[in-house]
């Protein structure tokens, strides 16, 4: 049996529920859970572990995707690597009770579309999200409240994971009549 989580798929009703606020975010068991979610993402990006455990590679994971309907999420991906492909700089968020406190009018979207560890089928189309968001959360690393200002790709990943806490999946945002409808002012990433 895999030492890693079984990821809840989008046919499960639990993925469509609104997650509950964590009453005591500084609780050791919550911190441990969030760190395990982080470890999952790191493992999923390691080619050897990924193959051994048949993991789908991900840059973000929300608690409901591992069957815990609480407001917690992680984001992890390298932004700089050395010659051997080892990360030298990473985006690493391990957040409990995250909430958006400010967002831009300007929007952006991934030109290649979005994907999700909980979604097997391909849903083509653009998902428009805010270009910039400011998020307040309890940080599982420092065990303190923190404020994150995210733009572009980082903001998109955070909004995708925040959506999971409200039972929303990325393809809910895709225009049904015209999946590739263009918004003039939105920034393509």
Catalytic residues: 161
* Cβ nearer to Co ion, comparing 16 with 106: 16
Q: Least distance (Å) from Co ion to the CB of residue 118?
A: 6
Instruction: Give the Cα separation of 59 and 79 in Å (integer).
Output: 12
Name the one range near Co ion by CB under 5 A: 24-32, 35-43, 112-120, 137-145: 112-120
First-residue to last-residue Cα distance in the chain: 38
37 lies in the binding site for Co ion (CB under 5 A): no
Instruction: Give the Cα separation of 76 and 91 in Å (integer).
Output: 5
SS3 percent helix, strand, coil of the chain, rounded to 5, is: 25, 30, 45
Q: Least distance (Å) from Co ion to the CB of residue 132?
A: 21
* Cβ nearer to Co ion, comparing 8 with 116: 116
Query: Which member of 116, 135, 150, 156 binds Co ion (CB under 5 A)?
Result: 116
Please say whether the beta carbons of 177 and 165 come within 8 A.
no
Q: Which residues lie near Co ion (CB under 5 A)? A: 116
């Amino acid at each position: 049996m895999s030492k890693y989580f079984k990821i809840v798929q989008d046919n499960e009703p639990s993925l469509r529920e609104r997650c509950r606020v964590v009453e005591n975010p500084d609780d050791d068991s919550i911190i441990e859970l969030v760190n395990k979610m982080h470890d999952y993402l790191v493992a999923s990006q390691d080619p050897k572990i990924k193959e051994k455990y048949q993991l789908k590679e991900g840059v973000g994971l929300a608690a409901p995707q591992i069957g815990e309907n609480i407001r917690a999420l992680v984001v992890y991906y390298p932004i700089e690597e050395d010659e051997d492909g080892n990360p030298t700089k990473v985006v690493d968020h391990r957040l409990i009770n995250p909430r958006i406190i400010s967002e831009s009018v300007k929007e952006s979207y991934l030109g290649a579309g979005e994907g999700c560890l909980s979604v097997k089928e391909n849903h083509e189309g653009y998902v428009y999200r805010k270009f910039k968001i400011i998020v307040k959360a309890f940080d599982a690393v420092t065990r303190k409240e923190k404020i994150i200002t995210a733009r572009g790709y980082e903001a998109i990943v955070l909004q995708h994971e925040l959506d999971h806490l409200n039972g929303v999946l990325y393809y809910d945002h895709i225009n049904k009549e015209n999946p590739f409808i263009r918004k003039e002012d939105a920034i393509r990433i």
